[in-house]
């Protein structure tokens, strides 16, 4: 008898606590750290409960950036081009584009006509 393949469901094996992937937990932690700095500043002004909101908000933003993909909506030209890509990949590509000081030139092929 030779070896044979046993099918196995490996989907979601890379998830931590059912909702976090490795990448999303890192983005969530970075967002929570940024929110903690704001928490410390607001805590100096004795805003205890309100000071926790930035931590939750920034952690949530980090989770969304690390987990979700940009939907492909045909009404917007932007989402047609990057639809289905991870949000963090699009953000990193935009940052690299700005740092390299590249420019986009758009040429209009329409000829101007004068009404005489």
Rounded average pLDDT over 81-85: 81
Domain positions in the chain: 16-68, 69-107
The tens digit of pLDDT for each residue in 87-99 reads: 898 889 889 988 8
Give the Cα separation of 36 and 57 in Å (integer). 11
Catalogue the long-range contacts made by 84-92 (C-beta closer than 8 Å, 24 or more residues apart).
88/23, 88/27, 91/65
pLDDT of 59 = 95
What is the dihedral sign for C-alpha 41, 46, 51, 52?
A: positive
Q: What is the mean pLDDT of the chain?
A: 82
Q: pTM for the complete prediction?
A: 0.68
């Amino acid at each position: 008898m030779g070896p044979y393949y046993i099918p196995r469901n490996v989907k979601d094996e890379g998830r931590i606590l059912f909702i976090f992937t490795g990448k999303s937990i890192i983005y969530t932690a970075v967002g929570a750290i940024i929110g903690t700095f704001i928490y410390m500043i607001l805590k100096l002004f004795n805003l205890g409960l309100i000071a926790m909101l930035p931590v939750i908000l920034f952690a949530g933003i980090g989770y969304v950036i690390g987990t979700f993909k940009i939907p492909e909506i045909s009404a917007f030209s932007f989402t047609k081009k990057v639809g289905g890509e991870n949000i963090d990949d699009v953000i990193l590509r935009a940052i690299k584009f700005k740092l390299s000081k590249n420019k986009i030139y758009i040429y209009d092929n329409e000829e101007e006509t004068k009404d005489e």
